[in-house]
């Protein structure tokens, strides 16, 4: 599996690739692809926010106490910026353009789970980042499949989302590995399991629509 460029392979951990507590049905992907312009606009903003998140983590918790921190965060930011550029090119080719504002209630709800305090806060920030990357990985795999064999076949989107799935998996593993370097593993695992449950609940509360992190209840069988 390709790793994000510039990330130290020793930071990655061979763990269960998709420990999500809920799974997205293929019907969600087919519905989201019915409005590719709106989907790509939402996706572009998500990549922008992911790059900003990595840069914020880099400056708030510098690498003087965790070797490789700055290098890892700059590598993630570089990956996300490259993804943003690709999404914008696809959007332009399809005749769309970016909106001026964007909201992501899914990510906002996850960030409300972050506890205050130095160690707790950075661990939870890394866990939230890992959860977003993990769910995005799952969604990109669904979109790649739906774009390849669904009613709205799109070879460009299928190839793009298939490639992105590997990158998001690498980022997810990286954020989780960094969290495990900060606090005792036993307490971290309990917190991680709690946050996986919270993520499933938050996802179930999202309304449907052509967005990467939208709900799917309307499409579930």
Closest CA to 171 of 106, 111, 82: 82
Count of Cβ atoms closer than 10 Å to residue 23 Cβ: 11
Task: Write down the mean pLDDT value for the chain.
Answer: 88
In angstroms, rounded to a whole number, what is the distance separating the alpha carbons of residues 17 and 113?
A: 23
Confidence of residue 6 (pLDDT cuts 50, 70, 90): very low
In angstroms, rounded to a whole number, what is the distance separating the alpha carbons of residues 187 and 210?
A: 37
- Secondary structure element (H or E) that encloses residue 68, with its range: none
Closest CA to 119 of 67, 207, 25, 184: 184
Alpha helices, H only, 67-117: 69-93, 105-111
Residue 7 has pLDDT above 50, yes or no: no
Closest CA to 164 of 140, 183, 185: 140
Q: Report the percentage of the chain scoring pLDDT > 70.
A: 89
Model pTM score: 0.89
In angstroms, rounded to a whole number, what is the distance separating the alpha carbons of residues 140 and 127?
A: 20
Q: Which residue has the higher pLDDT, 58 or 2?
A: 58
- Domains, the chain, ranges and CATH? 24-103+113-204 (1.20.1260.10)
Averaged over 35-44, what is the pLDDT? Answer: 96
The pLDDT value recorded for residue 13 is 41
- DSSP codes, 125-159: HHHHHHHHHHHHHHHHHHHHHHHHHSSS--HHHHH
8 Å CB contact between 170 and 4: yes
């Amino acid at each position: 599996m390709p790793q994000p460029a510039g990330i130290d392979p020793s930071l990655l951990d061979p763990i269960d690739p998709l420990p999500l507590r809920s799974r997205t049905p293929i019907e969600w992907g087919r519905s989201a692809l019915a409005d590719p312009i709106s989907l790509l606009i939402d996706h572009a903003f998500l990549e922008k926010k992911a790059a900003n998140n990595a840069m914020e983590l880099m400056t708030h918790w510098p690498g003087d106490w965790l070797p490789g921190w700055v290098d890892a965060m700059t590598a993630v930011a570089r990956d996300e910026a490259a993804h943003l550029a690709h999404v914008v090119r696809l959007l332009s080719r399809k005749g769309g353009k970016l909106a001026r504002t964007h909201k992501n209630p899914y990510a906002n709800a996850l960030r409300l789970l972050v506890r205050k305090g130095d160690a707790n806060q950075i661990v939870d920030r890394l866990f939230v980042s890992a959860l977003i990357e993990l769910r995005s990985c799952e969604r990109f795999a669904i979109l790649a499949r739906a774009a390849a064999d669904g009613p709205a076949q799109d070879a460009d989107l299928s190839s793009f989302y298939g490639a992105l799935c590997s990158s998001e998996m690498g980022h997810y593993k990286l954020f989780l590995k960094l969290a495990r370097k900060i606090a005792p593993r036993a307490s971290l695992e309990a917190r991680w399991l709690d946050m996986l449950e919270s993520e499933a609940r938050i996802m179930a509360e999202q309304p449907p629509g052509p967005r990467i992190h939208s709900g799917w209840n309307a499409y579930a069988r």
